[in-house]
Amino acid sequence: MADITSDTVVAVTGASSGIGEATARLLAARGASLVLGARRVARLERIADDLRARGADVITLEVDVTRREDLDRLVRAAVDRFGRLDVLVSNAGISKLGPLADGDVDGWSTMIDVNLRGVLNGIAAAMPVFGSQGRGHFVTTVSTAGLKIVPEMGVYAGTKNAVRTVMESLRQESTDGGIRTTSISPGFVRTELGDSIDDPAARAEIRSRMHEIGLAPEAVARAVAFAIEQPHDVEIGEIVIRPTVQG
C-alpha cells in the first residue's frame, strides 16, 4: 500500500456534504493536503475550518462543475498552493427522477450538465497537470443506478452510465501515461442527493430508502481511500459498494 501523506494532494468536488465531505474528512485524517470545491461556500468553509483545527492543510473554492473555468481554478489552486495535484475526486452530482413521459427536459439537461459534463470538465482541467507530472488519479462517483435499471431513473442512470463509459475509455487511453482511473458506484447512501428531486412523492421515497437501508457516507470514503492508497502500478478500476440488503 502507498500511504497517504501531506505530499498527497487531493481535490474533491461536491465536498460540502455527503460522500464528498466524508471523503475530505477521511483523507485529511490520513494526512492528505486538500483542495475542496462546492457551490455552498459557507458550509464548505465550516468543514475546512474544522479540518484545519485538526492540523490539515486545506483550501476551498466556490466551484460549479458545469463551468469549465471553475474546474480550471480548482486545479490551478492545487498547483499554486501545493506544487502538484495527485488525485481529482469528481463527486458532484444531482438526481431528477420521474417517468420519461413527464418530459422533464430541464431536469434532464441539468443532470447531463452536472453528472456528465462536470466530470468531463474535471478531466479536461486536470489532464494537462497529470500529463506533465507523469502521474495522476481520476476518482469518480458513479452509481449502482447504472447497473440495475429501474423505472423513473432512466435519465439519471443514463448520465451515470455515460460517465462509466468515459472512465473506461480514459483508462484505456492512459495505460502508458501513469494515470489511474477509478469509478466508484455506490448504492443507497445517506446523503442529500434526494433533496434535488423535484417530485415530492419520489423525493420522499428516496429519502425513506436512504434512511432505512442507506450506508453511511464514510463507507464510500473508505473505498475512495483504498483506491488512492494502492501502489502507483496498481489501478482499482471499479468499486461497487452497496448495502447488503439492497436488491
**156 annotated active-site:** yes
Of the candidates 21, 138, 144, 154, the one whose C-alpha atom is nearest the C-alpha of residue 98 is 154
DSSP 43: H
- Residue 64, CB half-sphere, CA atoms under 13 Å: how many? 4
Q: Catalytic residue among 82, 138, 156, 188, which?
A: 156
**What CA–CA distance (Å, rounded) separates 164 from 184?**
9
Active site positions, annotated: 156
